[in-house]
Amino acid sequence: MSNPLLAPFQTPFETAPFDQIKTEDFLPAIKQAIESGKKEIEQIKIQALPTFENTIEALDMAGKQVGIVSGIFFNLNSAETNDEIQKLAREISPLLTAYSNDILLDQALFERVAQVFSQKDQLTLSPEQETLLDKTYKSFVRNGANLNQEDAEKLRKIDQELGQLSLQFGENVLAETNKYVHYVEEEAAIEGLPESIKEAAAQTAEEKGKPGQWAFTLAFPSYIPAMTYLDNRELRKTLFMAYNTKACKGDELDNQEIIRSILRLRNERAQLLGYSSHAQFVLEERMAKSPKAVMDFLENLLEKALPKAKEEVKELEAYAQKRDGLKQLEKWDFAYYSELLKKEKYELDDELLRPYFQLEKVIEGVFQTASKLYGLQFIPNKDIPVYHPDVLAYEVKDESGNFVSVFYADYFPRAGKRNGAWMTSYKGQFVSQGQEQRPHVSIVCNFTKPTKSKPSLLTFNEVTTLFHEFGHALHGMLARGTYESLSGTSVFWDFVELPSQIFENWCYEKECLDLFAVHYETGEKIPENLVERIKKAANFQQGYQTVRQISFGLLDMAFHSIAPNEISSIPDFEKSCMEKTALLPEVEGTLMSTSFSHIFQGGYASGYYSYKWAEVLDADAFELFQEKGVFDKNTAQAFQDHILSAGGREHPSILYKRFRGREPQPEALLRRAGLIS
């Protein structure tokens, strides 16, 4: 029988044929796609005189099948994995690294690219073509094209090892998350938990063969409500310790040596290419440009946020002392007392809001917001195959009924899915032989599941998470470019969070909330005074949250800015980096780095600061929407034209200025966070 991954997909919009793919199809498909990709490269090399079209454009088009097959595979490895897929990932990852290196270290190919690059000033190129030429040339140079044979081999070896290590890091975190379950037999031990969370914990216990008990796991919808509502301080501590000691227990799932190896190899790689550190290497291709610029940015923010954060912690300590005689506020107390204080100050808590945020209604609200801003329609399509029964698939159309994109949504936690929320794509947008290929985009979340008696009711934080990921999805869906490598979310890493973070702002606007925030039992719209309280509470502990984000950014920069042999112990290093941002007592035995997947598994190494960087852009950009009206068509059109559809066709600062008419102003973020008046 033929391999469904290699035949043209006979599915609506040529979507991935998930219903036909078997795990054993991936390896042969990857191997064959790589062979085809190599033949396409050989074709480029035998062309006569190198031109922009026969070399630079041809390279951007080469290996499309590799991208599609590996995209399907690695997306499944994140959202629906198992032992077999993980084992296969360890086999497939080196093949893809070798394929990529074969291209980027091919001297004959690089010579063609360099020749076109050297004629750049004589060529009549559009800004998008110019960007592609720059990016192509730099990607060769930054991946070792100028190295001698011996160093090029070293680079290959480093890249192979790094690929394996980051996979192993992620597998260890997932295994630690999946293996932990804490059972409670007495209902008295879980006082304070809202009924819906209790019911979910009972359902989990029943599914795990312990009916009549309550089960807590390290998946977000279980762990976060437990830390927020459990009166039982000892149980909070137990769960906190389990969550914060993931992959650092000295057993086979310990990630400390993996971190050391990753840091050593990243540093070696950077030095091989002529950079002083991995951070310097990475930041050359970011808006921030240098480690110094990032450190100045973070230190400047810290200066503004730290005094406020200290005040907030003092206030919380005094509150816990007065309420319960608590002598020392610990990390496992923070979310619990914060929630109580927020409720007291603003008469607001998650359980008061949850009934207004039924998942299906929120999804509808996200769609309506996208419709009012960008004229999009989302039509469920049951004929599009999906990889799990929970996944929903839609075809997306514009106001004129033209096809825009395929959109997948996957909302609930399960054993084969990693924690957190993310956007990804199965197919990029590009133009080939005059024909436009439209994108296939997906968001993956881990929201509270429905129980036997209640639908899925989201916390306000989960609502903003859904809007955030959907903002990334809009960036992918509305892409309008010629070249896939510059299309959609293929932008500088510290610019990519702008579309996602700006979209969260609509969650605080009554005009938007009225589209979807209705009580799931009574159908009553969310009251005006509740929306006012949400807005007032938006800055609750903003100083603390800002300092927390900065601490992760500083740790990331420290890991990637110094010589790895200076790190004698991961726990000591983490502690020293976190000292100036520490607001609560250190907890012996805990370690955040060993599950810091953003930088050791995902692509955020030397880039974690970009969340705050993009917040400056999003706060500044949203002020324009507030000025003109949050659903103002002209402002939305400008944002679509210059940001969402433009992808990476020009430098982000040029695109941003085109939208805003000026440089971004950092004060907008400080104003929004209540850190300046």
pLDDT tens column, 543-561: 999 999 999 999 999 999 9
Residues 47 and 128 in one domain: yes
pLDDT tens column, 180-209: 999 999 999 999 999 999 999 999 999 999
Residues 127 and 209 in one domain: no
Residues 123 and 191 in one domain: no
In a domain, 491, yes or no: no
Task: Give the separation between CA 360 and CA 350, rounded to whole angstroms.
Answer: 18
In a domain, 135, yes or no: yes
Residues 119 and 189 in one domain: no
Residues 185 and 140 in one domain: no
Active-site annotation holds for 57:
no
* pLDDT on residue 676: 83
Tokens of 427: 């197919």
Is the distance from CB of 235 to CB of 184 less than 8 angstroms? yes
Residues 137 and 215 in one domain: no
Residue at a domain's end among 192, 215, 243: 243
Task: Give the separation between CA 22 and CA 38, rounded to whole angstroms.
Answer: 25
Positions of the chain with pLDDT lower than 70, given as ranges: 1
CATH code, domain carrying 20: 1.20.1050.40
In a domain, 470, yes or no: no
Q: How far apart are the first and last CA of the chain?
A: 68
Is the distance from CB of 56 to CB of 78 less than 8 angstroms? no
Task: Give the separation between CA 465 and CA 13, rounded to whole angstroms.
Answer: 28
Residue at a domain's end among 188, 208, 243: 243
In a domain, 196, yes or no: yes
**Has this prediction a pTM greater than 0.85?**
yes
Residues 35 and 85 in one domain: yes
Strand arrangement of the beta sheet that strand 377-380 belongs to: 377-380, 392-397, 403-410, 440-444, 422-427
Residues 134 and 230 in one domain: no
**Looking up tokens 């750049």, which residue turns up?**
120
Q: Which of 435, 188, 187, 152 has the alpha carbon at shortest distance from 269?
A: 152
Residues 6+ apart with CB under 8 A from 151: 144, 272
Half-sphere exposure of 280 (CA within 13 A, CB side): 14
Tell me the CA distances in angstroms from 114 to 35, 60, 117, 135, 339, one per residue in order: 25, 15, 5, 12, 58
Strands 214-217 and 377-380: unpaired
In a domain, 81, yes or no: yes
Residues 141 and 229 in one domain: no
* Mean pLDDT, the chain, whole residue set: 96
Is the distance from CB of 486 to CB of 477 less than 8 angstroms? no
* pLDDT on residue 1: 67
pLDDT tens column, 365-413: 999 999 999 999 999 999 999 999 999 999 999 999 999 999 999 999 9
Residue by residue, DSSP assigns 559-613 as: HHHS-GGG-S-HHHHHHHHHGGG--S---TT--SGGG-HHHHTSS-TTTTTHHHH
In a domain, 396, yes or no: no
Residues 211 and 90 in one domain: no
Residues 42 and 134 in one domain: yes
- Which residues share a beta bridge with 378? 396
Residue at a domain's end among 93, 128, 146: 146
Tokens of 116: 């076109």
Q: How many distinct helices (H) and strands (E) make up the chain?
A: 27, 9
**Looking up tokens 């830390």, which residue turns up?**
227
Within 10 angstroms of residue 108's Cβ, the number of other Cβ atoms is 11
Half-sphere exposure of 512 (CA within 13 A, CB side): 26
In a domain, 30, yes or no: yes
In a domain, 239, yes or no: yes
Catalytic residue among 469, 497, 509, 574: 469
pLDDT tens column, 227-278: 999 999 999 999 999 999 999 999 999 999 999 999 999 999 999 999 999 9
Residues 141 and 18 in one domain: yes
Range of the domain at 123: 12-104+106-146
As for how many domains the chain has, the answer is 2
Half-sphere exposure of 396 (CA within 13 A, CB side): 26
